[in-house]
Amino acid sequence: MVILWSNHQILISLVQKAMSSTMRTPRVHAGNYTTLPQYFKSQGYTTMSVGKVFHPGIASNHSDDYPYSWSVPPYHPPSFAYEKRKVCKDDDGKLHANLLCPVNVTEMPLKILPDMENTEEAVRLLKSMKERDSPFFLAVGYYKPHIPFRIPQEFLKLYPLENMTLAPDPDVPRALPSVAYNPWTDIRKREDVQALNVSFPYGPIPKDFQLRIRQHYFAAVSYMDSQVGMLLSALDDLGLAKDTVVVFTSDHGWSLGEHGEWAKYSNFDVATRVPLIVYVPGVTSAMEKPGKKAFPFIDVFQQSRERFTEASCIHASRQTGPSLKHPKRHLQRICKLPMSISPKLHTK
C-alpha cells in the first residue's frame, strides 16, 4: 500500500495523535474506533481511498468505512471483477482460473488490469488536489503480488526460468507440530495447481512448478513496483513531492517454498514481515541497506534498538498546520520513536 498526505502536517505528530485520540464513531458491525484517515479527515484533510485499503466486508462495515474515514466514496477498479474468473490462457489454448496467469493485457475483458486502473485513478485524484491546493490524504492499495498472479506477461522476461532457484530451505521441519503448518488451501483451489494432484497437507509441489511460482511472484512484485513508480513520478511531475509524506507498507508476507510452505497463512518470518518505508521531504535520509530488520506489526511502538532517531531529538514548533518546506522549524519534539526499518530522521 502507498499512502500519501500533503500538505502542512508531519507524520509522527499525526500518528501519535490518532493513536491517542478519543474521537470515536460507532459502526454497525466493526466496532468503535478511529481510523488514521478518519483522523486526517477530522483535521480538514480531503481523504481518498483507491483499491484495496480496508479489507472488504464486515471488517470495514461493508462500506470501506465510508463516510467515516473518506471524504469521497472509495474507488474500486472495474476490472477486478474478472480477477478470479477464467481469463488465464493455458497451454491447451483454453481459459482457466489459474494461480499462474501471465496475460496479454489487450486480450483482457476490459483491456486493462486492476492495479493499472488504481494508478490511473490515483494520478487523476492527485491532479484534482493540485488544482484545489488543499491538504489531502490518499491511500492507494495495490492488489499485486496477491494471488492469482494475473500480470502483464512481459514482466516474466525479467526473471528467466533458467535463472530461478528453489527456496534455500524447501523442506518441512521434521519436528514441526501439525497445528503450526498451513496446507496452503488457497492456492490448491486454482486449476493449474489442482492439475498437479499434490498430496495433502504437505505436498510437496513438483520442483519445476515451484520455480514457476517463484518466477511469477517476482514478476508480480516488479509489476507492482512499476505502478508505484508511475504514481511517484506523477507526484513529482505535479510539483507535489516537496510537500507530501509518502509511506509504503504491506499487510503480510508470502512463503515461496521456505519450510515447504506457500502463501501467507503461517507464522514463519517470510509470511509475517513487511516493509515500512517512510519518506518525509527534507527530513528522512537515504534508505538503509537491504537486510535490515523488518517492521514489527505486533506492536508499532514497542521498545526496539531500531529507531527513527537514536541519539537526538527533533525540535520544532507545535503550531497547527506546519509546512514541510521547513521541516526543522515545524517538526514536533520527538525522541527515540521505536519504529523499525524506516530511515532515521535527521535535521540536516
Write down the pTM of the prediction: 0.81
Give me the sign of the Cα torsion angle 188, 191, 196, 199.
positive
More confident residue, 8 or 295: 295
Q: What is the CA radius of gyration of the chain?
A: 22
The residues facing 276 across adjacent strands are 249
To the question of domain 2-274 being in CATH 3.40.50.720, the answer is: no
* Mean per-residue pLDDT over the chain, rounded: 80
Q: Would the pLDDT of 302 be above 80?
A: no
Count of CB atoms situated within 10 Å of the CB of 122: 25
Task: Taking residues 247-261, report their average pLDDT.
Answer: 93
Name 274's Cβ contacts closer than 8 Å, sequence gap at least 6: 249, 250, 251, 252, 253, 294, 295, 297
Q: Would the pLDDT of 85 be above 70?
A: yes
At residue 312 the predicted structure's pLDDT band, cuts being 50, 70 and 90, is: very low
Which one, of 84, 223, 210, lies nearest residue 151 by Cα? 223
> Phi first, then psi: what are they for 243, rounded to 5°?
-125, 20
Beta strand pairing call for 313-314 and 276-279: unpaired
Share of the chain above pLDDT 90, in %: 61
pLDDT tens digit string along 256-299? 999 999 999 998 989 988 888 888 888 886 656 666 665 555 55
Give helix 114-132 / helix 207-237 axis angle, nearest 10°: 20
What pLDDT is recorded for position 58? 81
In the numeric block, which cell numbers belong to residue 179?
497445528
CA–CA gap between residue 16 and residue 33 (Å, rounded): 15
- In the chain, where the domains are located: 2-274
Query: Which uninterrupted H or E stretch holds 262?
Result: strand 262-263
At residue 25 the predicted structure's pLDDT band, cuts being 50, 70 and 90, is: low
Q: Is 80 exposed, middle or buried (0-12, 13-18, 19+ CB in 10 A)?
A: middle
String of DSSP letters for 90-126: -TTSSEE--SEEEE-GGGSTTSS-HHHHHHHHHHHHH
Query: Which uninterrupted H or E stretch holds 32?
Result: strand 32-33
Q: Which residues of 16-45 are buried (b: 16+ CB within 10 A; e: fewer)?
A: eebeeeeeeeebeebeeebbbbbbbbebeb
